[in-house]
Each structure stands twice: as structure tokens, then as C-alpha cells.
Amino acid sequence: MTLSHLLLALAPLLAAPLPVSQDPVHDPEPQGTDAAGTHSRTMEIGGDQREFLLHIPEAYDSPDREDPVPLVVMLHGRTSNGKQAASAYYGWTQLSNQEGFVVAFPTALGRPTSWKASWAGKPTDDSLFLAALIDEVVDELEVDRNRVYMTGHSSGGFMSYSFAATHGDKVAAIGPVAGLSVDRGRPSAPVSVISFHGIADRVVPYGKNRWRAATAVESAERFAKHGDCKPTDRQELQGDRVHLDRWINPKDGTEVALYSIEGGDHGWPRGGRRSVPATKLIWEFFEAHPRRKGSDETKIEAPAKVPGESSTPLERNGKAERAGRFNDHQGELRISNSPALRG
């Protein structure tokens, strides 16, 4: 299969990358705020008005806070948007309030919306938008540049892998869910990865796919190679229903982890007896993998025991305020507990 055929086959999934644009032009109206809540923001990139939600936890304004806080960028799937990514289905807003980190929920362009990943190691308008978003939030708020992370679902998972390849200096770790690596580019700095993929996913297959892109395992192995990580023994979790493969670089702490879920589909893993709570595990992984300088020997701890079924909103449905649906790559997902936005 030629490269042109591959690009044509993948166009409906990720959309073709746009030409690289000039530096971002920000809104003339001041919109900076450090008030707690979820705020609607815009910025201009290459003539396009780009939108994102910025959630600031109440702990940010606490007089007890002394250090800069982490930033997580959460990318939605195809046909979705930042508001749905901020819903309780994913749980990032709730976890931000619990743990005190800032989280941004950008929205992709297109009809349907879809992130434009890089194919040849060159930035796209979407990757430039995300880089500008990170810079703006870091400059505006007290955010630790060594603790900036990105996660995403489906198209957002593809984009997380791609952004790490083109802007490895911007993120310390990524957490793609149901996404694959399509860019062979090597990150400019070590990037740790925690990924999740349902083995029964029919939308973005775990194994061979019609696009001849890297499989879920090959995607993880690619970043393990980038980080000079060596494989460790597989761990069996949740009664052998979840397989955890890890690759570790003991010198600088770079790590790649892949959770392969038996019977798992294209949805976001939310815990229970047959799965794991992706949001909780991603955050724990992010906390353990800030950007590290130098190559001093780092002690690598074994991961904590994966929690079982829980009643927390990160793992189980809570009190639903309202229910909605969106289609992601033609795979229908059900969204529950969409929270009202503040700010």
C-alpha cells in the first residue's frame, strides 16, 4: 500500500493535515482569569477561531498552595467537542477539583470535528493550536512546565501520540485511549506513555487495521523505543481480564504502559470487575512522570494494585444530571452525567 493510499484511507478518521500557519493571534479582549470554575476561551490560529474550556479548581486559589500546579489537556474524539470531554463520563473535571490540577478541553475543527494529526513529523494547524494553548495557560496561570500532560479518546488518542512526536518538549507524558501512533517521528525529549485499548474495539481495532497503521502494541513499542525503555514482565489484572505491559528506562524514569482489555470496546474504560478506571490511572501515572532533567538512576516502583469496582464518578455512573450521545468514528458512545459549566 502506497503512502497516498494510506492517507486516503485514513482521511475519514483523522482528516488531512492543514498547512502550517503563522504564529497565533489572540483575542484583543482580555480573557485571563484565575477564578475557580470552567471558563470558555478562544484564540485565533491561522485565521481560525479556536475554542477551548479551561477548568480551574478551587484549590488553585488556596492560600496553602505554594507550588505551581500541573496542567492536563484532554482531547475529545471525532464528532465530539470540549464540553463533552469535560463531562462526568470522563471525570477529568471532577478529578481536577479533587487533586488541584488545571485541565483544558479544546475543540477540534471540521464537520464532523476531528483532530488533524501529523503524518511526517511536521506540525499541523491542530498541533500548533495545542502548543499555543499550552503556552498561553502556562504563561497566564501558575503552571509547572515540567508537569504538562495530554490525554485523549479515539481521534484525541491519535492526536496525543502525534503531538508527543512533534512537540515532545511541551508534554512530559501522554495518555491515549483507543488511539494509535501514525507518526514515526521521534520526540525531541523523552515522553512517557500510558495507553488503554479494548481488544474487542471494532472502531479503532487493537490489532491489524484497514489503514495499515501501527497496532496498539506497536504504538506502545514505538514510544518505548523512542525512550530507550526495556520490556518488563506482563502483569495480569482483574482476574486476567486486563493485561498490563510495561517498558521502563531505569536511568531517567521514562516509562510506557499499555493496558489491553479483554472484551473492551471503543468506550472510555471506567472500572468495574472487567476493566480499569482509565482517568484515575492516567492521573496517577502523570503524577509519577514529570519532566526529569539529567539521566540519574531512578528507582521505578511497581504500579499500585488496580482498584476494583467503585462508586466514585470516575469508575461508575453517579447521579445523572442529563444523558446525551455522540458518535465517535461511527461508533456510538453513551455519555452520562454531563455537568453544568461554570464561569
- pLDDT value of position 32: 57
Position 343 in a domain: no
List, for residues 234-247, the tens digit of each pLDDT value.
999 999 999 999 99
For the segment 77-91, what is each residue's pLDDT rounded down to a tens digit? 999 999 999 999 999
- The fraction of the chain above a pLDDT of 90, given in percent, is 67
331 assigned to some structural domain: yes
Rounded Cα distance, 225 and 229, in Å:
6
Residue 29 pLDDT > 60: no
Distances (CA, A) of 331 to 101, 152, 196, 201: 31, 16, 17, 10
pLDDT category, 33, cuts 50, 70, 90?
A: low
> Confidence band (pLDDT; 50, 70, 90) for 172?
very high
342 assigned to some structural domain: no
Per-residue pLDDT tens digits for 2-23: 444 444 444 444 433 333 333 3
Q: Is residue 123 part of a domain?
A: yes
pLDDT value of position 292: 82
Residue 54 lies in a domain: yes
Structural domain that includes position 319? 3-336
* Domain assignment present for 341: no
Higher pLDDT: 213 or 139? It is: 139
pLDDT score recorded for residue 212: 81
- What amino acid is encoded at 311 in this protein? S
CATH number at 303 reads 3.40.50.1820
In a domain, 84, yes or no: yes
Name the pLDDT band for 62 (thresholds 50, 70, 90).
confident
Q: Which is it for the CA torsion 164, 116, 108, 200, positive or negative?
A: negative
pLDDT at position 31 is 55
Overall number of domains in the chain? 1
Helix 3-14 / helix 155-166 crossing angle, nearest 10 deg: 120
pLDDT tens track for 180-209: 999 888 898 999 999 999 999 999 999 999
Element (H, E) at 138: helix 125-140
User: Residue 314 above 90 pLDDT?
Assistant: no
Instruction: Answer yes or no: is 192 within a domain.
Output: yes
> For all residues of the chain together, what is the average pLDDT?
81
Q: To the nearest whole percent, how much of the chain has pLDDT over 70?
A: 76
Cis omega before residue 17 (within 30°)? no
